[in-house]
Amino acid sequence: MPIHLRAEPGDYAPNVLCPGDPVRSTYIAETFFDPGFRCVNTERGMLGYTGTFEGQPISVQTTGMGCPSAGIVFEELVMLGAKRLVRVGTCGGLGEGMRMGDTVVALSTSTDDATPLRYASMPGFSPTASHTLVETAVGLSRDSGATVHVGPIVTSGLFYDSDPTTFATWKRLGHIGVEMEAAMMYTVAAVHRLEALAMMTVSDVLGDDGESVRISDEELRRGVDDMMRIACRVATSA
């Protein structure tokens, strides 16, 4: 049984939203879940909740930051019966014409973090999202009027990178965003034959020189709320 998620099989819905931040997990449950949701995990502050969204079962579980922390959570969610994982959060924008507050749907992930590569036992493995979830997310985003970008992203092991040219290299190779957990989620999903998708709001746009322009807290909240509502629908889609 899981060590870090102190729950029993059946405590989590098959469809699980996965933000990094425990405060965001609580906010998602309080803002988007139907009344009557319950807390299913508090161990190590990794808050998890289960309830319904528009009548459909759904859970949200904090992963923490980075692949090592997130990998533990994804593995233990599998032990507890999860079948569909949807990462929700923010990313740095790398694509041309991107604006802060836009939505990114990660088609696949490259990574410089050794954790998912070691887990996959395949150097250079670049896992992909579930095609059906990508189609659903893109369709719902466009129907809502959101600006959505679809393409490969980078999962980085570093938040503060000492090499200012790193982002320019990823961008030159066609990556549209950078974050810290999606490659681990897609790799765990590939190993266990789960559905998985990462949806993120662009919180800052990264220049080729490593400098960034960041969105205001209020603009970020609005952008994340719009993305989160769609992510809930993707997670509970047929």
Residue-wise pLDDT for 26-47, tens only, equals 999 999 999 999 999 999 999 9
CATH of the domain at 208: 3.40.50.1580
pLDDT level of residue 207 (50, 70, 90 thresholds): confident
Whether residue 210 has pLDDT greater than 80: no
In angstroms, rounded to a whole number, what is the distance separating the alpha carbons of residues 30 and 27? 5
Is 128 exposed, middle or buried, given 0-12, 13-18 or 19+ CB atoms closer than 10 A? middle
pLDDT, residue 85, reads: 98
pLDDT, residue 181, reads: 98
Domain encompassing residue 230:
15-235
pLDDT level of residue 215 (50, 70, 90 thresholds): confident
Residues composing the chain: 238
Q: Which percentage of the chain shows pLDDT scores above 90? A: 82
Q: Alpha-carbon Rg of the chain, whole angstroms?
A: 17
More confident site: 166 or 213: 166
| Residue 37, CA atoms < 13 Å, CB-side half-sphere | 31
Whether residue 124 has pLDDT greater than 90: no
Please say whether the beta carbons of 189 and 85 come within 8 A: yes
225 catalytic, yes or no? Answer: no
Mean pLDDT of 233-237: 98
Mean pLDDT of 175-204: 97
| Residue 26, CA atoms < 13 Å, CB-side half-sphere | 7
pLDDT, residue 231, reads: 98
pLDDT level of residue 164 (50, 70, 90 thresholds): confident
Whether residue 223 has pLDDT greater than 80: yes
Mean pLDDT of 132-147: 97
- Helix H, strand E, coil C: the string for the chain is CCCCCCCCCCCCCCEEEECCCHHHHHHHHHHHCCCCCEEEECHHHCCEEEEEECCEEEEEECCCCCHHHHHHHHHHHHHCCCCEEEEEEEEEECCCCCCCCCEEEEEEEEECCHHHHHHHCCCCCCCECCHHHHHHHHHHHHHCCCCEEEEEEEECCCCCCCCCCHHHHHHHCCCCEEECCHHHHHHHHHHHCCEEEEEEEEEEEECCCCCEEECCHHHHHHHHHHHHHHHHHHHCCC
pLDDT, residue 67, reads: 97
The one catalytic residue in 112, 161, 204, 225 is: 204
The answer as to whether 2 is a domain residue is no
CB atoms within 10 A of CB 95: 18
The answer as to whether 4 is a domain residue is no
Residue-wise pLDDT for 54-83, tens only, equals 999 999 999 999 999 999 999 999 999 999
In angstroms, rounded to a whole number, what is the distance separating the alpha carbons of residues 199 and 87? 6
Whether residue 1 has pLDDT greater than 80: no
- Number of domains the chain contains: 1
